[in-house]
Amino acid sequence: MAGKEAIKMKSQILLLILFLCTVSCRTLSLQEEKRIEYFFSEEVNKAVRSRLSLYSSSEYKFYITMGTVRLTENCGNYQVWIGNYKDSPSESVKKFIEASRHYYKHNDLLIPVISEFDFSFAFFGRDDKGRVIRKDITGSDYLIEFDRSGKIVREGL
């Protein structure tokens, strides 16, 4: 009798494990389905790919930060900053890379895309006076600025 109960309990445990694995796999699958792939104009794609190809893909990791120009005569243009790192990005960038569902595909690489608004409005804690800490884009990344039609108007560091 004890042997039958042990077999029954093992069967129930096995079924529970199978159920949990199925739910876990389905959750991962749903997260992948929620990814948003970014596409740029041919001119911008060519510039982004050219910049990425300057680095050994196995040695460097990349991220892209996107924003808009709000000042000057180029108001309304888009900006793409291509950032790279070898070991680990800064803590503020790392937070967004890990959470990002937006990406740009380059060959087999899925490069995270981060919004400039992530830096402007994400909560990084408070300073000693109780003010909300804000982070900013480093400005040292490679910049590609383009207009609404996808024509590049500025490029460089």
Q: What is the pLDDT of residues 105-147, one digit of tens each?
A: 988 888 899 888 777 777 667 778 877 776 665 555 789 999 9
pLDDT, residue 11, reads 67
Q: 92 or 18, which is more confident?
A: 92
Question: In the structure, what pLDDT confidence band is assigned to residue 83 with cuts at 50, 70 and 90?
Answer: confident
Position 1 pLDDT exceeds 60: no
Q: How far apart are CA 94 and CA 82, in angstroms?
A: 14
Residue with tokens 């029954």: 8
* pLDDT tens for each residue of 59-77: 778 888 888 877 777 788 8
Question: In the structure, what pLDDT confidence band is assigned to residue 104 with cuts at 50, 70 and 90?
Answer: very high
Query: How far is the first Cα of the chain from the last one, in angstroms, to the nearest whole number?
Result: 77
pLDDT, residue 57, reads 59
Q: 21 or 81, which is more confident?
A: 81
Residues 6+ apart with CB under 8 A from 60: 84, 85, 86
Region of residue 133 (left: phi > 0; alpha: psi -120 to 50; beta: else): beta
pLDDT, residue 12, reads 67
Q: Which helix (H) or strand (E) holds 82?
A: strand 78-85
Structural contact between residues 101 and 36, judged by C-beta atoms closer than 8 angstroms: yes
Give me the mean pLDDT over the 33-48 stretch.
89
